[in-house]
Chains A and B, each alone.
Chain A
Amino acid sequence: MSDTSQKTYMLNMGPQHPAMHGVVRLILELQGEKIVDADVEIGYLHRAFEKHSESETWNNVVPWTDRLNYVSPLINNVGYAMAVEKLGGIEVPERGQYIRVIACEMSRVTDHLTCVGASAMELGAFTVFLYMIKAREYLYQMVDTLTGARITTAFTRVGGVKSDLPPGFAEKFKEVAALVREAVRESDVLLTKNRIFMDRMEGTGAISKEDALAYGITGPFLRSTGVAYDVRRSHPYAIYGKLDFEIPVGTKGDNYDRYLVRMAEIEQSLRLIEQCLEKIPAGKHSLEPKEIKWAYEIQDAGKFGDTALLAKYQAKVDQTLEGMSKADQPDTRVLDRKITLPPKESTYTNIEGLMNHFELVMWSWGVKIPPSETYFAVEGGNGELGFHLVSDGSDGPYRVRCRPPCLFPMAALKKLLIGGQIADIIPTFGSVNMIAGELDR
């Protein structure tokens, strides 16, 4: 056989291959079915998120963030809003923070359900896909009742969230959680000990701890190698510090471990939401009453020469005889009308709300943040979702940099694929959970 020449050949996979989850192109060099070399080409879904943000006001960027990771839009909304609040030194009321965490965790579950369900389908387990998408649908309906949209949520505002939890949310969630758990249990029975599934997943697409760190990989992908790094634990934002959750980790860093980690995280996220719904404070949890005073009280204090503390107080002015002194969403938003958009109910039904809204959305009239720079990160569905913001003192960002968590495993994808079989691409690429909207921005 020594005179037989061996030739490699090139295979183009994507950008419109059904298993390429949207649009990514793999250029493979094959020897038989073995992958000798691979090149990953991305950018097919680039929609200039960062460029567009520069021409928007701070609040107007929020709807753009929905389109980053469109499987878990609420996490992007929260991550961006919290980054702006960090930049502007704005503290969100506690109830608002609880609602944000509930929203984030619902999104995390939908993210993992989609990832596991879609990878299972690509390996032939169509039933699992249907179970998981059904469970995701229940959660999308919860998201719908909360935000008014299933995917394009645009739920957060700088300084709060769009609205309070709808009535009966906690009771409805109990039913949904039971249905999601049932779907996860059924999928677990169908997959976890399934011979075909294990053969495809175990030992394929493995990455070592050291390589994962060198490539800057975070999220479930990193945790599957055994590194228990989670932004919610390392830098507890919002109220994660008060909640109890575990960080599931794997050992081998292969596709099977990533599947197990995601399945375990679904349960942890459901637990987090249940804790939030139990602990969520009622009543006023916005600015402390002593920090906000009626303008005439401040005036009176000034008359009596009591000026030392005045700078600390914020004046509350009644613009009309009634209406504006009433806090519309006192529990979920900052009480400062110069910062948060009024609730839609108020915008549409009274003139003060409309004016207030108009002033905030008019160019160069909205929220202004002093010139500064910051970086803030939350734990997204795929890992550390960071926002690096630069303000030049105007009403919109000077620069928004989004650190897309799935860019990093995608940069390492070449390494994961080389040496494997062509059939391994499907589970490996599936477990990367590449979301093109976030990858290409």
Chain B
Amino acid sequence: MSDLLRGDIREIPAASNVEELAKLKAEGFNVLVDMTAIDRLKLGKLPRFEVVYRFMKLDAATGEDRGRAEARCAVDEQPVLRSAKGLWPNADWLEREVWDMFGVKFADRPDIKRLLMYEEFSGHALRKDYPIAKRQPLIGPKSGDKAGSPSFNILKPTVTGE
């Protein structure tokens, strides 16, 4: 089982991500398979986030997968990345999810909307410094402290200790 599903891995600069992605598209990577991010806070690497784009060259006539690629962009809190939704329309929702879960900003989408969480949600849930047991203001208590449930994750020191 070779790593054909990942293909070649390319680091691309965040400042010119759209240009680099356009090059990939010109190479024939017609499908944006997935887009996600990794918070590297606890891996001790900087910049903090890495946005991962995953591509496939799909031959529409034969249905054959002619190769894959992974483009990785290291970014921090600054809005440096630009949106790829002009290249692949599904990037719209995927970028909304990356913003929602990680708080990675896109320079040309200043009023980007969350995808999975609601507007009043505070914080970004998949960041490593977002405690899993944190409460939200709308759900309460308003302070964001953990509710005093005796059973919630009490067994796991890693979780309750955060």
User: A376 — which chain B residues lie within 8 A by C-beta?
Assistant: 5
User: B1 — which chain A residues lie within 8 A by C-beta?
Assistant: 86, 237
Number of interface residues of A (CB under 8 A): 49
- Are A215 and B115 in contact, CB atoms less than 8 angstroms apart? no
Select the residue from B60, B101, B115, B158 with max chain A CB neighbours within 10 A: B60
Residue of A nearest to B52 (CB): A388
Query: A50-63 vs B: 1/0 string, CB under 8 Å?
Result: 11101100000000
**How far is B64's CA from A410's CA once the two chains are assembled, in angstroms?**
24
Residue in B5, B60, B118, B158 whose CB lies within 8 Å of A227: B60
Whether A375 is near chain B, meaning CB under 8 Å from some CB there, is: yes
- Are B117 and A46 in contact, CB atoms less than 8 angstroms apart? yes
B interface residue count range (under 10 / 10 to 19 / 20 to 34 / 35 or more): 35 or more
Whether A379 is near chain B, meaning CB under 8 Å from some CB there, is: no
User: A441 — which chain B residues lie within 8 A by C-beta?
Assistant: 116
Query: B19-60 vs A: 1/0 string, CB under 8 Å?
Result: 000000000001111101011001100000000101000101
Residue of B nearest to A45 (CB): B116
Whether B129 is near chain A, meaning CB under 8 Å from some CB there, is: no
- Are B62 and A216 in contact, CB atoms less than 8 angstroms apart? no
**How far is B33's CA from A159's CA once the two chains are assembled, in angstroms?**
27
Residue in A43, A50, A209, A408 whose CB lies within 8 Å of B115: A43
- Are A411 and B92 in contact, CB atoms less than 8 angstroms apart? yes
- Are B156 and A55 in contact, CB atoms less than 8 angstroms apart? yes
Which A residues between 87 and 117 are near B, CB-CB below 8 angstroms?
none
**How far is B32's CA from A168's CA once the two chains are assembled, in angstroms?**
45
B36 CB → nearest A CB, Å: 4
> Given contacts A46-B117, A216-B90, are A398 and B43 in contact (CB under 8 A)?
yes
> Given contacts A43-B115, A235-B65, A392-B42, are A213 and B31 in contact (CB under 8 A)?
yes
> Given contacts A55-B156, A363-B158, A401-B36, are A213 and B70 in contact (CB under 8 A)?
no
User: B70 — which chain A residues lie within 8 A by C-beta?
Assistant: 375
Whether B110 is near chain A, meaning CB under 8 Å from some CB there, is: no
- Are B34 and A392 in contact, CB atoms less than 8 angstroms apart? no
- Are B63 and A230 in contact, CB atoms less than 8 angstroms apart? yes
User: B58 — which chain A residues lie within 8 A by C-beta?
Assistant: 213, 227, 229
B34 CB → nearest A CB, Å: 4
Query: A29-72 vs B: 1/0 string, CB under 8 Å?
Result: 00000000000001100101011101100000000000000000
Residue in A214, A247, A398 whose CB lies within 8 Å of B42: A398
Residue in A51, A377, A408 whose CB lies within 8 Å of B90: A408
**How far is B157's CA from A55's CA once the two chains are assembled, in angstroms?**
10
- Are B36 and A440 in contact, CB atoms less than 8 angstroms apart? no
Whether A8 is near chain B, meaning CB under 8 Å from some CB there, is: no
B78 CB → nearest A CB, Å: 22
User: B6 — which chain A residues lie within 8 A by C-beta?
Assistant: 374-375
B residues whose Cβ falls under 8 Å from a Cβ of A? 1, 3-6, 30-34, 36, 38-39, 42-43, 52, 54, 58, 60, 62-65, 70, 88-90, 92-93, 101, 114-118, 125-126, 130, 132, 153, 156-159
8 A-B residue pairs with Cβ-Cβ distance under 8 Å, sorted by A, are: A43-B114, A48-B125, A214-B31, A216-B31, A227-B58, A234-B63, A363-B157, A386-B33
